[in-house]
Structure 1
């Protein structure tokens, strides 16, 4: 018996619809695989936007600035420690190097100054509004950093406002406040003793000996003065200022100073030759 039920035919789907359905299905699968457990795509985008907004509102540049400031602070402390040889982390050095002193930079830009002895005398510390200057070997230094010592009442106030090169060698602070070094070598020369000299040396030998003694004495004067010249020139505490201005022939106009009493007491009679000492 023939089947009278109508045959139901499925309407064929268009190829385009099939592709769209398959594509949607694939996208859904990918979404589930790549972002399992996450909300739908639209909600994910909204969450991302909220995260970006939260980051913008937290001002991340402020954190970056704090990092930079912290780094600079640590670097500054380390550099201060190295430059001060372990004295301080915060640039509180008692005697900072010249390049950290404002006065030194002013001198470099301005250049050295030239003062006459009379002009130099005005910087002896009496006027507290002025720096304290001293000179040695015609070179001027600012010693204001040690006003307690070089200012009025200080133990070395005699050196302030003057070139007292002679006193640095002789030790006669009050008498030798002058740069005139003539005759200072006498303090290193032995005293003549004819009874001893004529006994051990012929006239020619004595003449040669005295010439050698004079050379040695002059070298000792130069060494003593150079020591103090270098002391001020290499000091981080005192600052170079300029030079004392004098006439070229100023020494010819001045009488030669006498050797001060304290320096003269250091002289002793000439000793006999070493071999003669052994015999006696």
Structure 2
């Protein structure tokens, strides 16, 4: 036997026996690939049928429904729960057309004659009133300031004087001269003799200062009322002729205001 034949016929070595302590190699897992189902092509006829059956009115109805409920919710929030349908008694300024006109065009400047046209007798015009030269739109309370209303005397005019005197019909004027007299005590010789001339002069000066303060505070109350009101909006200012109010005669106190005046009180030490 030749060396080459011996090499060919040599037995293969037997595999070594594995010990129990040898690590076991995991057998590779066979992953079966998932096959996606084949999509069948949609017939052209079916696509044309679906296109013909589509109606845009459904989408339009959805949009309208959304806008309706959004409008209700927005109205509820802005009106603080007053209404769902924008029917607010006192809408905010940015929902008023006149307010936007004012922002775009600036404040109005009206003469007393022009202001008189906005007294509520013309339904096509808003109702304006003025106090201390400032004009406000009070159309939202037409039942009060319009014709037949309890405060109709304030419409179409600056009636600052009447806010203090309480004489609505007589004092429809902004002229405040002499209004402080309603807060001054009446002179009475039988009472005034308890002071010397110097004391009486000093007392009268103090009384006048107090009276002027009461007039100022009384008018300021109503000025702030309209200025801070959520119902009424600022419109503009009243134009007065040069030299006013000196161009007009000084007014007398109305009867109601005059009747409130009392005599000066005798000092306690003198009365005792």
Per the TM alignment, residue 93 of structure 1 is displaced from its structure 2 partner at its CA by: 2.1
Deviation sequence 1:239-274 (CA, Å, 0-9, x none): 21111111230212100000000001111111123x
State the number of aligned residues: 233
| Native 8 Å contact 2:120 2:147 kept in 1 | yes
TM-score for the superposition, normalised by structure 2: 0.74
TM-score for the superposition, normalised by structure 1: 0.72
For structure 1, list consecutive stretches of 5 or more residues without a partner in the other structure: 1-25, 36-40
Question: Is the aligned partner of 1:46 residue 2:39?
Answer: yes
Per the TM alignment, residue 183 of structure 1 is displaced from its structure 2 partner at its CA by: 0.2
Match of 1:269 among 251, 263, 269: 263
| Native 8 Å contact 2:178 2:253 kept in 1 | yes
For structure 2, list consecutive stretches of 5 or more residues without a partner in the other structure: 1-27
Deviation sequence 1:90-119 (CA, Å, 0-9, x none): 543211221222221111111111111111
1:272–1:86 distance in 2 versus 1, CA, 3 Å: farther
Per the TM alignment, residue 46 of structure 1 is displaced from its structure 2 partner at its CA by: 3.1
Q: Which moved more, 1:215-224 or 1:150-159?
A: 150-159
Match of 1:154 among 149, 160, 169: 149
Deviation sequence 1:14-72 (CA, Å, 0-9, x none): xxxxxxxxxxxx997423xxx5xxxxx14x3539x9xxx9xxx9x9xx99xx79x86x8
Q: What residue is the counterpart of 1:188 in the other structure?
A: 183
The RMSD of aligned alpha carbons is 3.3
Q: Give me the whole-angstrom Cα distance separating, in 1, the residues matched to 2:201 and 2:70.
A: 67
Instruction: Give runs of aligned pairs for residues 83-162 of structure 1, distance below 5 A.
Output: 83-162=78-157
Q: Give me the whole-angstrom Cα distance separating, in 1, the residues matched to 2:176 and 2:99.
A: 30
Q: Give me the whole-angstrom Cα distance separating, in 2, the residues matched to 1:212 and 1:240.
A: 37
Per the TM alignment, residue 124 of structure 1 is displaced from its structure 2 partner at its CA by: 1.3
Question: Could you say which structure has the higher helix fraction?
Answer: 1
Instruction: Give runs of aligned pairs for residues 214-253 of structure 1, distance below 5 A.
Output: 214-253=208-247
Q: Give me the whole-angstrom Cα distance separating, in 1, the residues matched to 2:258 and 2:80.
A: 43
